Amino acid sequence: MRRAGRAAAEMIEHLAALLKPGISTADLDDAAVAWTSARGYRNGPLNYHGYPKSICTSVNEVVCHGIPTKKLVLKDGDIINIDVTPIVDGWYGDTSQTYHVGTPRPQAKKLVDVTAECLRRAIAVVKPGARLGDIGAAIQEYAEANGYSVVKDFVGHGIGRTFHAPPQVPHYGKRGKGSRLEKGMCFTIEPMINAGTWEIEVLDDGWTAVTRDRKLSAQFEHTIVVTEHGCEILTALE
């Protein structure tokens, strides 16, 4: 899992360096395929329940599962979440980050910064004996204190030799509720935070989830492992 996580972290950094106005989300997918195949890795998303591409690229009002396409050319001021899941020797490393294209817009910058802080606060409560509700509460409280809402339709997940395993990790909840965490558990935390309503809708392609009010959404994701006294982020570069 450390090797898969490190690969995911290096891969996303490589893709982020390509971001600029004028490139399409299909260009990012092409770069992802080149990066993984050069190393003998595969991409978890490709053909996963019929998903047609190797990464997810979710722009502006897209909450998650945006499908890369030549038709979507990035422009100055867009935000884009890139979500990668390379498979290394059968193990999955899952991470995503939201980036500004060109010059950040102030409202987008606040949403992206708050979402990143939600993930940091969630990771900070992870240790043996803590509960899943502690994670959700940390995210929900900080998001709502900033006037934002938490997406309920998608959750973090156990991960290992399969992409999505139990437990489900909600990004909302009550402190002290839910299953207890144990040393050695590997799972993702991946809050999706919306500027307006928490409600989403899935487009006719069967994948692209957008905010119902078409306001902005941001997301950050790490794969972590619970350790003796806390956790280790497997998808961060030191």
Structure token pair of residue 220: 């950050």
Nearer to ligand MF3, 76 or 153 (CB): 153
Say whether residue 140 binds Co ion (CB under 5 A): no
Nearest distance from residue 154's CB to Co ion, in Å? 9
Q: Which residue sits closest to ligand MF3, CB atoms considered? A: 45
Distances (CA, A) of 233 to 23, 126, 221: 30, 11, 10
Minimum Å gap between C-beta 55 and Co ion is 9
Q: What whole-number distance in Å separates Cα of residue 180 and Cα of residue 162?
A: 21
Interface segment toward Co ion; rule CB under 5 A; list 1-9, 92-100, 118-126, 166-174 = 92-100
| Helices 132-145 and 106-124: angle between axes, nearest 10 degrees | 160
Nearest by Cα to 51 from 210, 205, 220: 205
State in angstroms the smallest separation of the CB of 188 from ligand MF3: 6
Shortest Cβ 56–ligand MF3 spacing (Å): 5
188 sits near Co ion (criterion: CB under 5 A): yes
Residue 3 and residue 229 in contact, taking contact as beta carbons nearer than 8 Å: no
- Identify which range of 69-77, 129-137, 180-188, 207-215 contacts Co ion by CB under 5 A: 180-188
End-to-end CA distance of the chain: 16
Q: Indicate which single residue of 67, 94, 155, 178 sits in contact with Co ion (rule: CB under 5 A).
A: 94
- Which regions of 24-171 does DSSP assign to beta strands (E)? 42-43, 56-59, 62-64, 79-84, 86-88, 91-92, 95-100, 149-150, 156-158, 165-169
CB of 103 to Co ion, least distance (A): 27
Name the residue among 16, 226, 12 with its Cα closest to residue 128: 226
Query: Of the candidates 27, 61, 83, 134, which one interacts with Co ion according to CB under 5 A?
Result: 83
Q: Which residues bind ligand MF3 (CB under 6 A)?
A: 45, 48-49, 51, 56, 65, 83, 85, 94, 188, 190, 207, 221
Interface residues with Co ion (CB under 5 A) are: 83, 94, 96, 188, 221
